[in-house]
Structure 1
Amino acid sequence: MRKSWVQEIDDEQLDLLIEKVRREHAVDFRGYKYASLSRRIKRRLNTIKCPDMEGYLQYLDSEPGEYAKLVDSILINVTDFFRDAEAWNALRQKVIPRILERKSPGDRIRVWCAGCASGEEAYTFAMLLLKELGNDVFDHEIRVYATDIDEDALTTARFGKYSNEKVKSIPDDLLRKYFTHNSDWIVNRDLRKIVIFGHHNLITAPAISHVDLIICRNVLIYMSPGLQYRVLTKFHFSLEQDGFLFLGRAESLFKASCLFHAVDERWRIFEKAAVTDRLHPFISPVTSSTQ
């Protein structure tokens, strides 16, 4: 592997860049772990052969289109259909039936897939839910709100077109039922009509409220402990009573363990705990425009 020749980035330079991106491109990375940010920024500098941060800050001034490329480099998220298949199986067995048993005909089922990237996890859940519902699918208004800050990833998700390599982890019965094949695999109408993609800044935008399940996998791991707590508090506010939270395999509740209790500790599935409203002083009960 070729070694990076980019100079180390100090905290002061990183603060300058974060503020510049926030001001000029309306993306706020304050509260993200500096080590993760530095690593991804250095990768971007290496790609464009810029040796140091001083030169890169000047480059941003002369090339405004670089902001979007930098943000994409920082936000890049490896995702797949049924990533960590055992985790999705645990969700199918331990969460989906409990959500459905609480619902009567006509009740809404609302799920928020936060940090959805290019849509694979949102579509994964939608397939599992529709399979579990079977002939009862028409008894409910189903909405899977899939949000991300990366517009390019959202474009891919909305288009719903995936390569043979991308869909190889989808079970054959689900692939045949919910995709059509040309040169690539295209998500069919049954999935498209229940998954709604929208731009949403998880840190600064109001929460999507009254959801039965939040899927947010491999997003919190890049945030500082303080920001993790803020986001988890927002999630607690968003969930219905006895709602569920599904995190990534390497993530935990950090300082917010009082807000949830474990359904499956190994696969990071949690249920909302009852707490007092005083834990939510900064969360506004505003309905997101994604709804």
Structure 2
Amino acid sequence: MHPRQAQSQSLEPQQPSASHPERDPAFDELLTYLRQNHGFDFTDYKPPSLMRRIGLRMHEVGIGTYRDYTAYLQANPNEFKPLINTLWINFTGFFRDTLSWEYLVADIIPRILRQKLADAPIRVWSAGCASGEEPYSLAIALAEALGIEQYQKRVRLFASDIDANTLHQARQGRYSALKMANVPIALRERYFKPLGNYYSVCSELRSPLLFLRHNLLEDPPMSQIDLLVCRNALIYFNQDGQMKTLVRFYFSLNHAGVLFLGSSELLPQADRLFKLLSVQHHMFRKVEKSSLTPELLIQGLKRA
């Protein structure tokens, strides 16, 4: 990005340069302010990503330094909401990465069902669900595999995100025709109702879903999960944050539970906890190491 000048002051955030690798102390002061005053801890996020996203918002309001932006946040409490909306990158869609979803439907879901007794519950977690397209895609896939009655009876689908605004959208379950473009017509007619220019998720599909606000780095994970889908959220964490989250995912999953990561996530440390099922589709199966405590697992991963 090229620096822009306004009133003899750069509007780009002051970031470390190659000749000055130290992180700007004012950037850390800003993160401390966000943690102490708004309860958002970005310690385990990658600094370059944070700097870039915060810099976008600083540029929008015409502020050139982290220290000035901290002062601006203090003087303008309403600024916090657009900042957080800038930081949470909510890019999602129904059946995103079609080939991976086809593999999930043809191989992974049947595998999970074969391991279950006829009436046993099936627990699924969509972590970082954004505006809900992913958990509703999971719901459709499970309803198709089980039939709607068994789906409602057996499935418990948790959908979590840290962003309250996108969770509100997800709970509404209303999507434009553009958003629905990747949903086959037959599924659209079966699981959605047209409402003017929108489509609304039918109540039969919605009933097993529970949407909740959840911080992957701080809050306890869901438990006894058979399928955990977390796609392209870990790429925004630093290595410690990724390891911490993978350990939580490990303990969240049942024996032989499946982890479905995003196409942008190449995490070598995942091999310590999960067996690779498909390198193309980024799917893993839990490896049993029940004698290890979370503390020992974290220490082992950090030595990798």
Say whether residues 1:238 and 2:252 are aligned partners: yes
Match of 1:93 among 106, 109, 130: 106
Equivalent position SS for 2:268: coil
Match of 1:84 among 97, 102, 107: 97
Rg comparison, structure with higher value? 2
Structure 1, 73-82 or 197-206: larger mean CA deviation: 73-82
Residues 277 and 2 of structure 1, relative CA distance in 2, 3 Å threshold: same
Say whether residues 1:15 and 2:21 are aligned partners: no
Equivalent residue letter for 2:204: D
Structure 1, 80-89 or 98-107: larger mean CA deviation: 98-107
Q: Write out the 4+ residue segments of structure 1 that deviate beyond 3 Å after TM superposition.
A: 1-5
> Which structure 2 residues correspond to residues 27-176 of structure 1 after superposition, within 5 A?
27-134=40-147, 137=150, 140-176=153-189
| 1:48 Cα deviation after fit | 1.7
Equivalent residue letter for 2:119: G
Match of 2:268 among 240, 243, 254: 254
Residue 289 of structure 1: aligned partner: none
| 1:138 Cα deviation after fit | 5.4
Equivalent position SS for 1:146: strand
Deviation readout 1:185-218 (Å, 9 max, x if unpaired): 1111122101110001111111111000110000
Equivalent position SS for 1:226: helix
| 1:18 Cα deviation after fit | 1.5
Residues 142 and 135 of structure 1, relative CA distance in 2, 3 Å threshold: closer
> Relative contact order: is structure 1 or structure 2 higher (C-alpha 8 Å, sep ≥ 6)?
1
The alignment yields a C-alpha RMSD, in angstroms, of 1.9
Partners of 1:105 and 1:140 within 8 A in 2: no
C-alpha separation in 2, matches of 1:144 and 1:25: 29
Structure 1, 140-149 or 240-249: larger mean CA deviation: 140-149
Partners of 2:148 and 2:204 within 8 A in 1: no
Residue 227 of structure 2: aligned partner: 213
Say whether residues 1:277 and 2:291 are aligned partners: yes
Equivalent position SS for 1:95: helix
Equivalent residue letter for 2:263: R
Aligned residues: 283
C-alpha separation in 2, matches of 1:207 and 1:139: 23
Deviation readout 1:95-134 (Å, 9 max, x if unpaired): 1001111222321110011111111101111101100112
C-alpha separation in 2, matches of 1:104 and 1:195: 22
Deviation readout 1:47-82 (Å, 9 max, x if unpaired): 222222121111110111222221221112211111
Q: Which runs of 5+ in 2 are unaligned?
A: 5-10, 17-22, 298-304
Residue 266 of structure 1: aligned partner: 280
Residue 198 of structure 1: aligned partner: 212
Partners of 1:245 and 1:271 within 8 A in 2: yes
Question: TM-score normalised to the size of structure 1?
Answer: 0.92
Partners of 2:228 and 2:259 within 8 A in 1: yes
Question: TM-score normalised to the size of structure 2?
Answer: 0.88
Q: How many percent identity over aligned positions?
A: 37
C-alpha separation in 1, matches of 2:88 and 2:2: 22
Partners of 1:228 and 1:254 within 8 A in 2: no
Q: Which runs of 5+ in 1 are unaligned?
A: 284-291
C-alpha separation in 2, matches of 1:173 and 1:92: 16
C-alpha separation in 2, matches of 1:175 and 1:192: 14
Equivalent residue letter for 1:255: Q
C-alpha separation in 2, matches of 1:209 and 1:81: 25
